[in-house]
């Protein structure tokens, strides 16, 4: 069992590293694919494993993006002057400045988003079910609008990010690598977390939070840690995405509630929420289908997306992994009826 799983990871690692060399023309799409995988997986930490369905994780994405932008610029220039004077003067970043700024920017984005999730958690985690989903949606929507009012970071017209100092091909490879790395780290971290007491605790919160409280599980603490992990990765990937796109603005790039914000939920549901691999499978499938059919739908793609989402939720709630687990429970170590004597470590 362990050997097979090790092989699988090796295969993914090999494919992930080799893909950009074989298909350099799709490198942007593939980087986006890893972003999708990360978003769906970290959404599932709360939505699937803990039963707290956030519609506003994109808040951390956008805030991370802006935090990194401010850090990257503020280390060397006055941000207000940079954003307002951009176009007239062209600030230069040396190689060292750029990469140090980027590194610190991504870290600051992750920890800043984490801090934000901690503060929001005090308000949001006193709420159950629909209030949580709608409250987070409201926060994400409001965050995009509020960001547009802050002139310091360029207001509604946005900021151009510092230029990548090397060749365009290297730039694409570099950001592809960053996305792949972050998605892989997130996946492995989640994998480990789900195998610990923490994983059980958040499952317990999902199944019956009142019982978990009555059994003394400090639910607020677990919920906040869970959201902080999600927020950290969303913040980091937001910073990376901002630099990858090269230009950030509040509504379409930083806080895309109706695109990325809903994609991550749709992908996790499609693959099967509450499983480690479901969101990954869902993200790959969703992204590939979307990218290959998008241009043929001639403007109807968004309608098709809404329709798919509805059909997915209404008629195929369990998702691919849920369906597989129901069909082949033994493969997943789920015991039905009388238990065989072996103790399987499969989560």
Partner 1 sequence: MLFNLQILFDIAPITNIQLILDGIFIGAVLALGAYGLALVWGVMNVKNLAQGDFIILGGYIAFALAREGVHPVMALPIVMVLMAMLGWMVYVFMIRRVIEQDMFTSLLATFGLSLLLQQVMNLIFGPEVQVIDSHLPNYQLFNDSVTLPVVKLLSLGMVAVLAVLIVLFMRKSRMGQAIRATAQDERAARVLGINTDRIYAFTFALNAAICGAAGVMVSMIWVLQPFYGISYSLRSFAIVTAAGLGNLPGVISTGFGLGLIEQYTGFILGAEYQVASAVVMLLLVLVYRQRRAKRKRQVVR
Partner 2 sequence: MKSLLHSNIIEVHNVFKSFGGVHANIDISMHVKKGGITGIIGPNGCGKSTLFNSIVGAHPIDSGSIIFEEREISKLLVGQIARLGLLRTFQQTRIYSKMNCVDNMLISVSHRKDARDGLFAPRKGETLERALSLLEFVGLYSKRNLISGDLSFGQQKLLEFAMALMNEPKVLLLDEPTAGINPTLINGLIDRLHRANEELGITLCVIEHNMRVVMNLAEHIYCLANGRLLADGKPTELQADQRVIDAYLGGGH
Q: Does 14 bind partner 1 (CB under 8 A)?
A: no
Q: Which of 29, 84, 97, 195 binds partner 2 (CB under 8 A)?
A: 195
> How many positions of this chain bind partner 2 (CB under 8 A)?
33
Binding string, residues 280-319; x marks residues near partner 2 by CB under 8 A: ----------------------------------------
d(CA 306, CA 324): 25
Binding-site partner at residue 289 among partner 2, partner 1, none, CB < 5 to 8 Å by type: none
Q: Give me the torsion for CA of 2, 8, 14, 15, rounded to 10°.
A: -170
Q: For 300-317, give the DSSP string.
A: -HHHHHHHHHHHHHHH-T
Task: Please list every residue from 221 through 260 that binds partner 2, using CB under 8 A.
Answer: 222, 225
Q: Does 168 bind partner 1 (CB under 8 A)?
A: no
Q: Does 224 bind partner 1 (CB under 8 A)?
A: no
Instruction: Give the N- to C-terminal CA distance of the chain in Å, as an integer.
Output: 12
Tokens of 297: 């739908």
Q: Does 30 bind partner 1 (CB under 8 A)?
A: no
> How many positions of this chain bind partner 1 (CB under 8 A)?
40
Q: Of the ranges 73-81, 90-98, 279-287, 329-337, which one interacts with partner 2 (CB under 8 A)?
A: 329-337
Binding-site partner at residue 338 among partner 2, partner 1, none, CB < 5 to 8 Å by type: partner 2
d(CA 305, CA 320): 18
DSSP label at residue 55: S
d(CA 81, CA 89): 10
d(CA 283, CA 274): 14
State phi, psi for 17 to the nearest 5 degrees: -80, -35
Q: Of the ranges 31-39, 71-79, 152-160, 337-345, which one interacts with partner 2 (CB under 8 A)?
A: 337-345
d(CA 199, CA 44): 12
Instruction: Count CB atoms within 10 A of the CB of residue 292.
Output: 10
Residue 332 C-beta: closest distance to partner 1, Å: 22
Residue 303 C-beta: closest distance to partner 1, Å: 5
**Could you write out the three-class secondary structure of 162-187?**
CCCCCCHHHHHHHHHHHHHHHHHHHH
Q: Does 284 bind partner 1 (CB under 8 A)?
A: no
Q: Does 134 bind partner 1 (CB under 8 A)?
A: yes
Q: Does 335 bind partner 2 (CB under 8 A)?
A: yes
In 3D space, the residue among 188, 182, 179, 201 whose CA is nearest the CA of residue 276 turns out to be: 188
Residue 86: beta bridge partners?
89
d(CA 16, CA 11): 8
Q: Which residues bind partner 1 (CB under 8 A)?
A: 53, 55, 123, 126-131, 133-135, 137-139, 141-142, 145-146, 148-149, 257-258, 262, 265, 269, 299-300, 302-303, 305-307, 309-310, 312-315, 317
Q: Which residues bind partner 2 (CB under 8 A)?
A: 193, 195-198, 200-201, 203-204, 206-208, 210-219, 222, 225, 334-340, 343-344
């Amino acid at each position: 069992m362990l050997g097979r799983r090790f092989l699988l990871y090796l295969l993914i690692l090999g494919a992930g590293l080799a893909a950009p060399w074989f298909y350099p023309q799709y490198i942007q799409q593939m980087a986006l694919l890893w972003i999708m995988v990360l978003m769906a997986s970290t959404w599932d930490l709360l939505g699937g494993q803990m039963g707290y369905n956030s519609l506003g994780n994109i808040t951390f994405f956008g805030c991370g993006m802006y935090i990194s932008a401010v850090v990257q610029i503020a280390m060397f220039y006055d941000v207000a002057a940079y954003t307002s004077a951009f176009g007239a003067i062209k600030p230069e970043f040396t190689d060292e400045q750029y990469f140090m700024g980027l590194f610190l920017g991504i870290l600051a984005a992750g920890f800043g988003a984490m801090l934000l999730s901690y503060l929001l958690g005090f308000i949001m985690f006193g709420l159950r079910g629909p209030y949580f989903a709608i409250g987070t949606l409201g926060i994400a929507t409001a965050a995009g609008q509020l960001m547009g009012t802050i002139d310091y970071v360029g207001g509604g017209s946005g900021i151009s990010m510092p230029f990548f100092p090397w060749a365009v091909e290297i730039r694409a490879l570099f950001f592809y690598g960053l996305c792949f790395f972050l998605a892989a780290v997130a996946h492995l971290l989640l994998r480990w977390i789900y195998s610990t007491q923490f994983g059980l605790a958040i499952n317990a919160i999902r199944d019956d939070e009142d019982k978990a409280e009555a059994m003394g599980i400090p639910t607020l603490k677990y919920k906040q840690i869970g959201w902080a992990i999600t927020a950290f990765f969303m913040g980091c990937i937001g910073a990376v995405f901002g630099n990858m796109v090269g230009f950030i603005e509040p509504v379409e790039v930083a806080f895309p509630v109706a695109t990325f914000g809903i994609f991550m939920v749709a992908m996790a549901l499609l693959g099967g929420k509450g499983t480690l691999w479901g969101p990954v499978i869902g993200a790959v499938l969703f992204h590939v289908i979307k990218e290959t059919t998008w241009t043929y739908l001639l403007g109807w793609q968004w309608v098709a997306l809404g329709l798919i989402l509805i059909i997915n939720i209404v008629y195929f709630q369990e998702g691919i992994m849920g369906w597989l687990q129901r069909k082949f429970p033994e493969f997943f170590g789920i015991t039905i009826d009388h238990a065989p004597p072996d103790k399987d470590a499969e989560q």
